[in-house]
Each structure stands twice: as C-alpha cells, then as structure tokens.
Amino acid sequence: MLNEVIVKSVLNKTKRRDPWFLDDYTINPYSACSFNCLYCYIRGSKYGEHMEDTLSVKINALEILERQLKNRAKKNQYGIIVLSSATDPYLQVEEHYGLTRSILEVIHHYRFPVHIITKSDLVVRDFDLLKKIDNDAILPSDLQSALRHKAYITFSFSTIDDNVGKIFEPGATPPSKRLSTLKETLQEKFHAGVSLMPLLPYITDSDEQLELMFQHFQQLGVHYVFPASITLFGDDKHDSKTLMLKAIQKHYPSLTEKYQKLFSFGHSPPSWYRNAFHKKVERMTEQYHLKTTLM
C-alpha cells in the first residue's frame, strides 16, 4: 500500500543553478520511485532494493506549495522549477493521485517557469497546462534575454533499446514508447530534448550505440541532448553499485571485470574513461549538430 506522508516544505531552493537543467527550485511530489532504475543515485537502505515498496506521496504538497509560491511571487523571486530532482513526476501512481498535475496548476497560477524531467509518457496528459505555463510564466530576470521558452520537457534515456531498458530500468516506460512520446512532444512545438544520463559503459556508450541514438534524436528534431557518464554509489545490497554489478554479472558476464575495474577506486570511472567519454560525445554532438544547453 502506498505511503501517504505530511511534509513541511515541497519547494526546494537550489544552492546553484545547474548549467544543464537551469534549476532555481525543485519539487518532488513523490519520494522513492516505482521505475526502480538500478543505477539511480538515490538508492540505498532508505528505500531498499525494490524502491516501489517504499513509495510515498506528499498528500499536503498543494497546501504547502501554495504558501511557498505565493511568498516567492510576492518578492518577485521567479525561477525555473524542475520537476523532479530525486524521482520522476509521472510515476504510475500519478494516474490515480494527479498530484503533479495539481502542482502544475498552482505553478501556472503564480506564473513560474518549469522544466519537466521524465521517463514517462504520462506527461502528454498535461500538455494543455504546460502550454499555458509556456505562454504565461515569468522568467528570472537574468535569463530573460537568454531563453525564449518557459516550459521545457526533457526525456531521460540510458538506452533506446527496450531489452536493455528491461534490465536496468525495469519499472520505467519502455524506451520505444518514450521515443514516441518525445516525437509527439516536439510535434506539439514544445522546447524538448534528451537527458542521456547515464550512458552505460561498454553497453550504450559505444560508437555504434551513440551513432544510433544521435541519429534518432537528430531525425526527431530534438533541441538539445545532455550526455553524461555513470556514477555508482555504495557497497551495501541496496546500493546502485552493488545492483549494477549484479546485473552486469548476470546479463553481461563478459563485462564484469571491466566494470569492477571502472569502479574499484570510487563512485566515478577513472579519468582516462571520463576524458575519452567527453571527447566521444563532444564529437557526436558536433557531428549531429545537437546543442548541449537549453539556451
């Protein structure tokens, strides 16, 4: 049964605006996640191996958000709100609770811009609200000359192969359906793109796989891509590093030693891998004329 929790705050002010996502604020209507991606950075003992079992909905979020946004708007403290930073705003339970949609209604009322980051096709339901936000929101003063839009939709991919997706993001909307939804989003004239976070070493970061993905994205007409390598944390049974290595050993046994070497000294791959990765994706973005920024 889904946990219902009371929170004291739902609008989080970021310390520093991320250069990719341009987040001044973040909102997470839910905690934990039913998409259960093995590589997710929020993993750990708090949520367990099957994060959908600890999924919670913040049932007083609207009341709290109303007060917080009213106060920020009064002070002219407009900024881009990212939904979401720690879990997807369009989990399966959103179809029942409709919390993300209600939050977007409050955001529209107070005229804040938004950036949706999702793996779900359910975002289509809220196109009407997102178009209103794109039309009516007020950008922060320092971004008014740099941005033309006030609603952004970014679809997250680690792969565009449904079989690979079933292994590493078993509860998420299949990548093929995500691609179809991305196409529909672009056809609706939203400023939309792709977060390639994370690309999986030796599985989805090869030249062949990157060519395939970037060709798809270019053909769809995406406005930007955000490619990033993987970070894996922890050695406990619920942590992302443990779960990923377990999955690699089961499904890609020939890569087990390579993964163990990549993450033998920390949560990030060594500098030689990161440098090679950076050069590779930089070459791809230039080749396919894809921007790596919302601006």
* Segment 181-230, tens digit of pLDDT: 999 999 999 999 999 999 999 999 999 999 999 999 999 999 999 999 99
- Burial track 188-219 (b if 16+ CB lie within 10 A, e otherwise): eebbbbbbbbbbbbebbbeeebbeebbebbee
Does residue 45 carry a pLDDT above 60? no
In a domain, 262, yes or no: no
In a domain, 191, yes or no: no
Cβ(32)–Cβ(50) below 8 Å: no
Cβ(30)–Cβ(56) below 8 Å: yes
In a domain, 129, yes or no: yes
Cα 287 to Cα 213: distance, rounded to the nearest angstrom: 13
Distances (CA, A) of 232 to 40, 236, 244, 247, 289: 8, 12, 8, 13, 30
Q: In the numeric block, which tokens belong to residue 10?
A: 């739902």
Closest to 200 measured CA to CA, from 238, 162, 168: 168
251 burial level (CB within 10 Å; 0-12, 13-18, 19+): middle
The reported pLDDT for the residue numbered 131 is 98
Indicate the Cα dihedral angle 192, 177, 55, 53, nearest 10°.
-150
Q: What range defines the domain where residue 44 resides?
A: 1-156
Bridge-partner residues for 30, per DSSP?
57
Cβ(195)–Cβ(155) below 8 Å: yes
In a domain, 277, yes or no: no
The reported pLDDT for the residue numbered 231 is 95
294 burial level (CB within 10 Å; 0-12, 13-18, 19+): buried
Cβ(55)–Cβ(91) below 8 Å: yes
* Segment 249-293, tens digit of pLDDT: 999 999 999 999 999 989 999 999 999 999 999 999 999 999 999
The reported pLDDT for the residue numbered 46 is 60
Say how many domains are in the chain. Answer: 1
* Segment 209-220, tens digit of pLDDT: 999 999 999 999
Cα 57 to Cα 246: distance, rounded to the nearest angstrom: 30
**Predicted TM-score of the model (pTM):** 0.96
Cα-to-chain-centroid distance, residue 50: 19
In a domain, 196, yes or no: no
In a domain, 278, yes or no: no
The reported pLDDT for the residue numbered 47 is 60
Distances (CA, A) of 18 to 49, 109, 212: 29, 25, 28
292 burial level (CB within 10 Å; 0-12, 13-18, 19+): middle
Cα 26 to Cα 273: distance, rounded to the nearest angstrom: 31
* Segment 126-157, tens digit of pLDDT: 999 999 999 999 999 999 999 999 999 999 99
